[in-house]
Structure 1
């Protein structure tokens, strides 16, 4: 490690988490890693009003772990703000986002590290969630478990870029890449969960940035975490609020999808234009010329300011990546 002190930073974002944290911390302390793999825990206290930070520090001391444990505060409410604070303060090459109710399997860190080292083209890595609770799950849960970041994210391990997103729970990214995205001008418009306000889409937004700059999303079924779901979240009313949060993010997410499709379309249109122009020159066919001009007209798009800003950020990021090579 030339620049970073650790191989992995686990960014643990918390809001009034004291009642949920103990098993989460116990699982982090039990990680089965090779001796030379160093990791740290960075808890981000996102404007908690309980004693989250104090409880976490005390619990970690009781666990008698020699793993580095730090706490930073983020006063602006919202999961996206907490994650950004964690990124800024992380000292690891890799960042793993862990929610306060995520119990990472004991091999999670080692599998994630080995995979990301082997596949540099992967921008975002995600795993499989298993639902656990202190109560019996309702009949409808198996159908809607994806709303809780539970289940598989694909039929098998592989590239899921076409899916368009990876769950924020257990998400793995490289610190230098996600920092470069922020530095290039990518900024979140979705704040994510804020206490009882179930805003959503902030993790999808991060994934869209990676897709826009040509990185891949990948699902690894060997990466397993348990998601502890409290009883109050297993009601139809709560699930409806959860989906309202998803719906509110659609405008922003759809805008990113438009840009992703646009970038693909521009690449495809180039080959179509060359093909049609060749046919026109060879055959001097007026109908072919009309088709050629029609495609040119459809390819000409006037961008509004948000689109221009995102494309400018993409250009800055790619230029920075080119300079590093």
Structure 2
């Protein structure tokens, strides 16, 4: 395989983690058994986002006892949130490509080689992602496939294609590969969405960087030859978690839509977001009337439509609060 021209490494695998001591050995072992990477220069970066378990000890043990020919580097990022961890990974990465994996993602043996091959074949691709399969601790509820994308499970068939950024149909931040050049040229140093921190489930941190890449003219691709497996524990299928997830994702919709919107178009998007989701919620209510208390998937969808409808008002409230806070501190 022909190497990419770079004075640095070919690929940096970046793993943000929070209390991942029990999960990290699995993913590290998968990475250390990758095939087709003999001619690649690559590294693994662990970004510890304020873990209070023995994550650092696990990583230091791997660094000390492994006889493998690989670079494993550890960084502590004290700003809480997935967005801060990913920004730190980009700053520290020495590879021309940055392959993000969450600590609960298990890559297939050829994941890295397929990611690199795609970079060679698609020079205009700023980011690309593959198939993400669910590895469930318990069986998901009936019709779960309707909402599986919200849990970063993506199975879009065997043909590569461009993602539809205009309609926010984009891959998750996990199992995503980006060109460092594209990120540095396109993505701001400070992001709007910080990630789900504490009790807040507000989403948006996965899609925001991709919208900036798209705005700058980079392509975002689906590459079906890259496979990862997302470990889904039982608590992520519980009603309370799923409803909070639906609301958090919905409340981010309006602000995501206006990232690449001209100022004169924002009032139009404001109204369309409210009316469009009001229509969806009304149609959904008619279709599943009397079932929302017993049909978890239908309830999830309803909560997402309602939160999306409210997202313009959430945006106004949040930004008014920031302006008021700034004035009070002057």
TM over 0.5: yes
Which one of 171, 176, 181 corresponds to residue 181 of structure 2?
176
Determine if contact 2:87/2:189 at 8 Å carries over to the other structure.
Answer: no
1:13-46 per-residue CA deviation (whole Å, 9 max, x = no partner) reads: 0011112222111111111123211111000001
Alignment of 1:1-325 (within 5 A): 3-59=6-62, 64-153=67-156, 156-162=159-165, 163-164=167-168, 165-182=170-187, 185=188, 187-194=190-197, 197-259=200-262
Q: Which runs of 5+ in 2 are unaligned?
A: 266-330
- 1:250-272 CA distance string (max 9 Å, x none): 2320212424997xxxxxxxxxx
Find the aligned partners of 1:145 and 1:92 in 2 and give their Cα distance. 31
Q: How many residues align?
A: 260
Query: What CA distance in whole angstroms lies between the structure 1 residues aligned with 2:246 and 2:29?
Result: 31
Shift, 1:244, TM fit: 1.7
Deviations 1:223-243 (A, max 9, x none): 110000111111121111111
Alignment CA distance shift 1:195-1:129 (3 Å):
farther
Q: Which has the larger radius of gyration?
A: 1
Q: Aligned partners of 1:34, 1:19: CA distance in 2, in Å?
A: 26
SS at match of 1:173: strand
> How far apart, in 2, do the equivalents of 1:12 and 1:208 lie?
22
Distance 2:217 2:157 in 1: 20
TM-score, normalization: structure 1?
0.74
TM-score (norm 2): 0.73
The ranges of structure 1 where at least 4 consecutive aligned residues each deviate by more than 6 angstroms after the TM superposition are none
Give the deviation of 1:69 after TM superposition.
Answer: 0.4
CA deviations over 1:104-130 (Å, ceiling 9, x no partner): 111111111111122111111011111
Indicate the RMSD between aligned Cα atoms, in angstroms.
2.3
Distance 1:252 1:43 in 2: 30
